[in-house]
Structure 1
Amino acid sequence: MCIMAMAWDAHPRWHLVLVGNRDEYHARPAAPLGRWTDRPGLIAGRDLQSGGTWLGVAEAGRAAIVTNLRGYGGPQADRASRGALVTDLLAGDGPYADIGQAALDDFNPFNLILVERSRAYFLTNRPAPLRTALTPGLYGLSNGTLDAPWPKTLALKAALLNWLTEGADEPEQLFAALRLERLPEAGIAPATPSDAPDEAAASPIFIRNPTYGTRCSTIVAIDREGLGRIVERRFDAMGAMTGVTAEDFRW
C-alpha cells in the first residue's frame, strides 16, 4: 500500500474514514478482500506470496494499514513479512500482536497505522523503532514520513476533507480521488527515489504501469455507532477494474 488518507475521531458522524491505494508488482499474487476463515473476525485482502495483508479491519474493533518506507534500499529477503505485522495486530494474536512488545526491527522499512475503538497509533522502524499515539485528526501517509507534504498525499487528504465537509454518504467521490493519474502541482516532491525501480520518483495517486502499479483501491468507513463498511476495487496491469468486493461489519 503506497498511499492513504485517514480521518480518525474528527467528524460528528464518522469515527473512522480511511482511503488508500495498494501499489505493488502485478505479478505478485493476491486474494481479494474477504473474511478470513483462519483468523475469525478479520476482513482484508491477502498477499498469497507471504500470507499477510496490507490493509484490513477486525470486528474486534481494529483497523490497520502498512506502507513501505523509501530511502533505505530494497527489501531484504530474510526479513519477516510486513503483512504479518498487520495481520497479527488486527487479529490480536500471534508473535507481533502486542503493539508495545512487537519486534519492529524484524521487518523491512515500513510505516503502519493502527486504529482501535478509542486509540490510534503510528509505528515505524526507520531510522529507529517508534510507536506514537495519534490525536484525533486528518492524516496522510505514503512512503515517507507521516504527513510528509508530497503532492499526491496532499491531494488525497484534500479529497477526503471535501468529502467529509460536504456530508457525502457514497464512496464514489473518494474512489474518483484514488483514480487520479495526474500528478498534483502543490507540495514537495519526495527527496529519495522509490525502492521499486519501476515507480517514478514522484508519482500520482493512481499508478498505471504494466509491471508495478496500483493493484487495488480500498475505502473503510465506520460511523459513531460502530457500523462499518470496507470496499475494495481491483485493477489489472493496464489499469482496468477487474472486480469489486464490499463487506459490512460492526465494531
Structure 2
Amino acid sequence: MCLIVFDWRPGSDTPLRLAANRDETHTRPTRALAVWPDAPALVGGRDLRAGGTWLAASQTGRFAAVTNVRDAHAKAPPSRPSRGTLPYQALTHETPLAWLESLVASEAQTYDWFNLLYCDGVTLLHVHHGPAGTTLSRVSPGVHGLSNATLDTPWPKVVRARDGFARALKQPPWQAPALDTMHDTRSAPTLDLPDTGVGMEMESFLSPIFIRGQRYGTRATTLVEWRPTSIELQESRFGPNGAAHGSRWHSLALAGVTQS
C-alpha cells in the first residue's frame, strides 16, 4: 500500500472512512479482497509471495494497513521479513496494543522501513519506522494522508489526495467521488517533487495518485467505512497500464461476514 487518505472521527457513527491505493509490480502474485480460508475472521487482499497483506480488517473489530517508507539517501537495512506480516499480526495478536509497543521498542528493527496504521474503532495508532527511528503515536481526529514518508508529509500526491478525499466526504454517498480522486493520473510539477534519492524521472513517475505503468503501478484501490455494526470494504483491481480487472465488496460484522 503506497497511498492512504482517511477521515478519523472517534465517537461518531462512522469513526473511520478511508481510501487507499496499493502500488506494486504487476507480476507479484496477489489474491483479491476476500475472507482468508486459513483465518476466516479476516477480510483483505493477500500477497501470495510472502503470505501477508497490505490492508485488512477483522471480525473482532480491528483494521490495519501498511505502506513502505522510501528514502534512498539513507542506507537501507539488509533483506528483512515481509512488511505484509505486520497488519496480520496487528489483527490477530491477543494483545495488539502490547504488541505494538514491543514492535516499536525492538521488533521493528527486523523489518525494512514502514508505516503501520492500526484501528480498533476507538483508537487509531500510527507506527513509523524509518531512517530517523521508530515512533508510535495516536492519530488526531480529522482528515490525514500517508504515503512513503511519515503521516501528513506534504508530498504533492498526498496533499491532492487528502484534499480531494475531504471534498468527497461532503458529497454523500462519498465513495464515487473518492474513487475519482484516487484514480487521478496527473503527475506533479517537477519543482514540487520530493527528492527521495530515486532520481527525478522516477519521482515524476511515482508522483500521480494513481500510477499507470506496464511493469509497476496501482494494482488496487480500497475504500473502507467503519459503521456502527460493520466494516464495509470495497476493492477495485487493475492490471498493467491501469486496465480495470473487476471489483469486490464485503460487509464485515461482529456476527459474521456477508459477501456480494
TM-score calculated relative to the size of structure 2 = 0.86
* CA displacement at 1:226 relative to structure 2: 3.2
CA distance in 2, matches of 1:4, 1:165: 18
Q: Residue 230 of structure 2: which of 227, 231, 241 is its match?
A: 227
Partner of 2:196: 192
Q: Residue 147 of structure 1 aligns to a residue in which SS?
A: coil
Q: Residue 51 of structure 2 aligns to a residue in which SS?
A: coil
Letter in structure 1 aligned against 2:70: R
Q: Residue 154 of structure 1: which of 132, 146, 159 is its match?
A: 159
CA distance in 2, matches of 1:108, 1:234: 26
Matched, 1:53 2:58: no
Q: 1:151 to 1:11 in 2, by over 3 A?
A: farther
Q: 1:200 to 1:146 in 2, by over 3 A?
A: same
Matched, 1:165 2:166: no
Partners of 2:86 and 2:116 within 8 A in 1: no
Describe how 1:92-131 pairs up with structure 2 within 5 A: 92=93, 98-102=99-103, 103-126=107-130, 127-131=132-136
Higher helix residue share: 2
What is the number of residues matched between the two proteins?
Answer: 248
Unaligned runs of 5+ in 2: 255-260
* CA displacement at 1:112 relative to structure 2: 1.3
C-alpha deviations, 1:30-86, integer Å up to 9, x for none? 011101121231111000111000011112111111111111469766311100011
CA distance in 1, matches of 2:238, 2:109: 32
Partner of 2:3: 3
CA distance in 1, matches of 2:214, 2:127: 31
Q: 1:136 to 1:95 in 2, by over 3 A?
A: closer
Q: 1:227 to 1:94 in 2, by over 3 A?
A: closer
TM-score calculated relative to the size of structure 1 = 0.89
Letter in structure 1 aligned against 2:69: L
Percent sequence identity over aligned pairs: 32
Partner of 1:18: 18
CA distance in 1, matches of 2:54, 2:75: 18
Letter in structure 2 aligned against 1:38: D
* CA displacement at 1:132 relative to structure 2: 1.0
Q: 1:130 to 1:136 in 2, by over 3 A?
A: same
CA RMSD of aligned residues (A): 2.7
Q: Residue 183 of structure 1: which of 175, 184, 187 is its match?
A: 187
* CA displacement at 1:235 relative to structure 2: 0.4
